[in-house]
Structure 1
């Protein structure tokens, strides 16, 4: 297949190790869908209460989801989601693409906890909500961006294939340490506090 630019909704594959393939889909392109709409040079639109974190070091980033399964060929078999949301630096132009549709209402952004202006905020997409959780117990939940190689390793690790990762770069948590999704009790507590119920 001829290589092309990755577009929102495209399914792509990653050769996570030689001869083994994983699949994912691009859900959101920060440069094309955010920076082109919001005038990032106009400081008057921002305040202490509103400063969307997608402006902070997220240029040239894409939001992707990854599907379950490790395959011997780059042919899509399943779209069961293993990793629902993770930011990565751009991966377009380096992997073959399979065209697929996307339901935009189901796009899920990672949830991060950040220290801002002396308080703690729950940041998700362009939303930033002040919360009360005392001190931030897990600094790793702050905003983060991964490279495709880390996502490939996380993909293997989450499917109990950590033995396929070279021992010298193997680690216990990968992307799980960077999204509130993987801390259900803390997430439930925060959503209850802001009136979101049991999400």
Structure 2
């Protein structure tokens, strides 16, 4: 294990948990800089995430950098490559990504003279909400944090014994970065723009003319 300088889409990685003999695991789902062509809807958040990767983590904690259980812990979050490369990380295998299974975080985006947008992947869909509503919910694009990624993964994997600072445990690790972690609010937003909150991202993007499969 050690520092790496390159990681690609589909790469499964192991990260050593600090001050322990254990690893947690994840996979790269989307690399914004390497894959996105800039042709999504105007004012989406992908350009802002230009130096980030979308990843998922798994409910598999091991003393060896090997994995055979791919039950998802954190289903999708953005982390900057710079932060990821600071970790004690190793790429252990590659599993091709199925674009139909990818989900992106959903956030608000306040665009002057246009309005409040629901930003999700390549999409930026105009809502009827005011800044008062979004200021209350406070869910906007976030670069993510590897510490809280590890914390959430350990928590969801029921490995509280490996969490050093128990005071950092949260009820919701993504309440300020993903509306889908607030299902009632996300449902309200989807109802406002006449979209199905249960529709997959792939189907939603395709409905609006964007086929995620073109990046794979």
TM-score (norm 2): 0.75
The correspondence for 1:67, drawn from 29, 51, 58, is: 58
- Which residue does the alignment assign to 1:41? none
1:109–1:167 Cα change, 3 Å: same
The correspondence for 1:50, drawn from 31, 38, 42, is: 42
Q: CA RMSD in A?
A: 2.7
3-state SS in 2 of match to 1:177: coil
| Equivalent runs, 1:1-199 vs 2, <5 Å | 5-17=6-18, 18-34=20-36, 37-38=37-38, 50-56=42-48, 58-90=49-81, 91=84, 95-97=89-91, 98-117=93-112, 119-134=115-130, 135-136=133-134, 137-139=136-138, 141-162=139-160, 164-167=162-165, 170-172=168-170, 173-199=172-198
CA distance in 2: counterparts of 1:187 and 1:162, whole angstroms = 29
Q: CA deviation at 1:105?
A: 2.0
CA distance in 1: counterparts of 2:180 and 2:101, whole angstroms = 15
1:165–1:27 Cα change, 3 Å: same
CA distance in 2: counterparts of 1:95 and 1:197, whole angstroms = 38
Of the structure 1 ranges 4-13 and 60-69, higher mean CA displacement relative to structure 2 is found in 4-13
1:129–1:69 Cα change, 3 Å: same
3-state SS in 2 of match to 1:14: strand
1:70–1:184 Cα change, 3 Å: same
1:170–1:7 Cα change, 3 Å: same
3-state SS in 2 of match to 1:83: coil
Deviations 1:83-138, CA, capped at 9 Å, x for gaps: 11000011359522122121122221111112222632110112111112442121
1:83–1:121 Cα change, 3 Å: same
Contact 2:140 2:176 in 1 (8 A): no
Q: CA deviation at 1:65?
A: 0.8
Deviations 1:16-73, CA, capped at 9 Å, x for gaps: 3421111111011111112xx33xxxxxx89xx82222222x2221000111122221
TM superposition outliers: structure 1 runs of 4+ over 6 Å: none
1:163–1:133 Cα change, 3 Å: farther
